[in-house]
Amino acid sequence: MPLQYMACSFAYRAGSPVLDALTMEFPTGCTVLLGPNGAGKSTLLSLGASSLVPASGRVALGRLDSTRRRSQRSYRQKVGWLPQHVKPIPSLTVREQAAYVGWLKGLSRSKAWEESARALERVRLTDLGNRKSHELSGGQLRRLGIAQTLVHSAEVVLLDEPTAGLDPVQRAVFRDLLSELADSVHFIVSTHQTEDLADIYDTVVVFDHGRPVFQGRAPEFFALAPTGTATERQAETAYRGLVRGEV
């Protein structure tokens, strides 16, 4: 089920529009969202999560419209969101925090508690369920963040810079986790890192100045690199060819 942005505009306070009448559709599967700082990626995902509301236009998942109060609750249950910074709740254990987010998403307390166990198992955190969430490592906290997006059976999960600050081992765990979940969940992942594109993502979207400057399958993106480019440099070279103004 694709996530659709229809004529969406958004600006922070009295500033220039970050998005101006943007219309685009994210496909099913696993999509990577690339782009320089300030391109509008976080704003795009925040609108998709209904954390922000467009000044005009709408965001929809199937028949569910994030801007309409009567469908917003159902929309939020189907869309999970992991912002850049996952905050532990010091007084709660790992499982309690996952369950609490499920309750906030509209689950009953008993259902949220039940689903929290399943979500932690999916991200391989079951053994740490009774640990205080503020005692987790950075990589473990990111996995708890993903569990929070899954506890209410989200169909689409938006991840904003989920591997920022992770070491190579932690990034490998995250990569394996996405691969394991890709059959049941659609992902849109914003990142600056291009090393793992070929191994994880079906679709590449390059976003700049509030607009997609490229959207296509991963092989089409790699093909933008000049002939003879080393395999390990193809993604970086293709990206720089699309976003020339980045410093």
> Cα(first)–Cα(last) distance of the chain, in Å?
36
- Number of structural domains (the chain) is 1
| DSSP code per residue over 39-96 | SSHHHHHHHHTTSS--SEEEEEETTEETTSHHHHHHHHHHEEEE-SSPPP-TTSBHHH
Query: What is the spatial distance between Cα 163 and Cα 77, in angstroms, rounded to a whole number?
Result: 24
The single residue listed with the structure tokens 């999960």 is 157
**pTM of this prediction?**
0.87
Query: What is the spatial distance between Cα 36 and Cα 58, in angstroms, rounded to a whole number?
Result: 25
Give per-residue pLDDT as tens, 99-112.
999 998 888 999 99
Strand partners, 233: none
Report which of 56, 70, 71 is spatially closest to residue 22, judged by C-alpha positions: 56
Please report, to the nearest 10 degrees, the dihedral formed by the alpha carbons of residues 68, 74, 79, 83 taken in order.
Answer: 70
Residue 196 lies in a domain: yes
Residue 197 lies in a domain: yes
Give per-residue pLDDT as tens, 41-52.
999 999 999 999
Q: Which domain holds residue 24?
A: 3-242
Residue 24 lies in a domain: yes
| DSSP code per residue over 144-186 | HHHHHHHTTT-SEEEEESTTTT--HHHHHHHHHHHHHHTTT-E
Give per-residue pLDDT as tens, 188-221.
999 888 877 887 899 999 999 999 999 999 999 9
Domain at 36, CATH number: 3.40.50.300
pLDDT band at 1 (very low <50, low <70, confident <90, very high): low
Helix (H) or strand (E) holding 197: helix 197-200
User: Position 90: which residue type?
Assistant: P
Burial of 157 (0-12, 13-18, 19+ CB in 10 A): buried
The phi-psi region of residue 91 (left if phi > 0; otherwise alpha if psi is between -120 and 50; otherwise beta) is alpha
Q: Kindly report the length of the chain.
A: 247
Give per-residue pLDDT as tens, 45-102.
999 999 999 999 999 999 999 988 888 888 988 898 988 888 999 899 999 999 999 9
pLDDT > 80? residue 165:
no
CA 153 from chain center: how many Å?
A: 15
Please give the residue that has the higher pLDDT: either 96 or 164.
96
Average pLDDT (153-163) is 88
Residue 247 lies in a domain: no
Residue 150 lies in a domain: yes
